[in-house]
Every structure is written in structure tokens, then in C-alpha cells.
Amino acid sequence: YAVVCMGAWCGDAKEAVRSLRREGVPVGLMRIRFVRPFPDEEVAELSGMDRVVVFDRDITPAGGILGREVASVLGRDKVVNVLAGLAGVDFKADEFRKAVKHAVEGEYADRVVLL
């Protein structure tokens, strides 16, 4: 499994990934540094993952911007796009951990989840 995010959130996401690894969950983190040009080749390396959990702090009609970009490379079936922290709502490492765990366990029926 892989977590994809960008910006300052990656610190909290990294903490969550470490916690999940201690629990035995095989998960890694990819930090996207820029959207344009989008790093298609690097993201394509995640194609072997069972599920990719993408965190966005924005919303569009079809999910978050980063989630849509990742899904355009990997396909919608692999990607769970978690929209969180909208309107300045705090979203810390423990929330990341819970969201990733839910996604890994298949508890999110939808491919776009608003937390």
C-alpha cells in the first residue's frame, strides 16, 4: 500500500506511516513536490500496489486535484482519494493513520472519501 500527499501534510503522513509499519501494515509514502509538470513516471511506479491512498486538502467535482492526477496515471480502481482538512479543519497524524487503515482494510466503499 502507498500513501500519496504533498506539502506540509507529508510530515504528519510520514508519522502515520511509521506508526502503521510498527503495527505490521506494509505501507509507504510518496511525497509529490509539484503538480505541473506532474511526475507521471514516478507515480507509475506505484502500479504494483494493491491500493494507493491519496490525501487532498481541496475539492473538485470528481475528488481532489492530486487524487485525480494520480488516478489518471494508475486508474481509478487502485486509488482511494481522501479529502480532509477542508476549511482549515485540523487533520493530524492520528487521523492520517486511521484513514489509511480504513482504506487498507477496504472500509471505504467509495473512491472519494470526505472526512
Q: What residue segments make up the domains of the chain, in order of their start?
A: 26-55+69-110
pLDDT of residue 51: 94
DSSP H/E element including 2: strand 2-6
Stretch 31-59: mean pLDDT, rounded? 96
Which CA distances in Å does 21 have to 2, 17, 28, 90, 98? 12, 6, 9, 23, 13
Residue-averaged pLDDT of the chain: 94
Stretch 95-103: mean pLDDT, rounded? 94
CA–CA dist 6, 25 (Å, integer): 22
pLDDT above 90 for 109: no
pLDDT of residue 108: 87
**pTM of the predicted model as reported, rounded to 2 decimal places:** 0.94
Task: Express each pLDDT in 78-92 by its tens digit.
Answer: 999 999 999 888 999
CA–CA dist 109, 42 (Å, integer): 27
What SS3 class is residue 108? coil
Task: Express each pLDDT in 8-28 by its tens digit.
Answer: 999 999 999 999 999 999 999
Is residue 70 within 8 A of residue 52, CB to CB? The reply is yes
Stretch 31-52: mean pLDDT, rounded? 96
